[in-house]
Structure 1
Amino acid sequence: MWKTFTRKLKAFVPYFFVMIVLGSLSYILVYQASFLPNGYKIISQQNNELTIKLFNLIGKEKSIQTISLGKDDAWKVEQIEYDVKRQNDSLWMIFSFVSISATLIVMYVRNGMRVWKAIFQSNLIFAILIPLVSLKSAWHSIQSLISR
């Protein structure tokens, strides 16, 4: 029993390190390199004025928008900051989960599992859908607060 456990552990360790590297690369991609497809990034914030950078579908800068809000709308600034943070977290989760699921698919296929069964076993569908709901909600909230 101990031999089978150590054998399985030795087989899993390289994939585990690959998953850690993929999660770290996703973090660097979103938070450090600001790869935000269809996303928003707060460039500067003064009292009730925000400067936001908008990105297109492929993550390139589309435009920079300055939003001036009244004293009564200070809550909107905080809400936009929260939604931008939630957007970044959701994008990081999508990039990490999809890359980890792809690694699991490769691992399963190498062990002899059929491709479609490996896709379902790796939970790729949930890896995309669960963070996508939060991401879509954050985008909608930011868009509605900016357009007012």
Structure 2
Amino acid sequence: VNLRIMFGALGPAEGSIEAQVTKLAELQRKGLVRHIGLSNVTRAQIAEGRKICKIVCVQNQYNLAHRDDDALIDELARDGIAYVPFFPLGGFSPLQSSTLSNVAERLGATPMQVALAWLLQRSPNILLIPGTSSVAHLRENLAAAELELSADVLA
């Protein structure tokens, strides 16, 4: 179960999550919840949650254009906690840039495949859940895992 915190309208905002996480931890002790994750949270909220129970994943907005959690991803990786980027392809406005399009063209891929491959190669703790509405789109997303991006492309 991911607890999504909505203190801020445009992203994570500070505020205590102790009460909510404590309730989830109680459900976990009763065997009703196996794992607990946090979504749309700050570094302080993650620390607060980890004092109450084991946190297995953090789900925040992150993609090629929105990289506020760069350091957090690395910290979570060191602690064995998965990071699940939401809006990995930009959300309601898909990612667009000439750099992304040029790299995709050089690799014979779509820009969205390059964006997904970049995330997969960004850190071993990144777990992608890109949305899809068709089998063809699912296949396109899966093919992103086969792309090998060079160091200059990753940069």
| Coarse TM-score class (shorter-chain normalised) | under 0.3
Structure number with the bigger relative contact order (C-alpha 8 A, sep ≥ 6) is 1
Q: Which has the larger radius of gyration?
A: 1
TM-score normalized with structure 1 length: 0.27
Identify, as 1 or 2, the structure richer in helix: 1
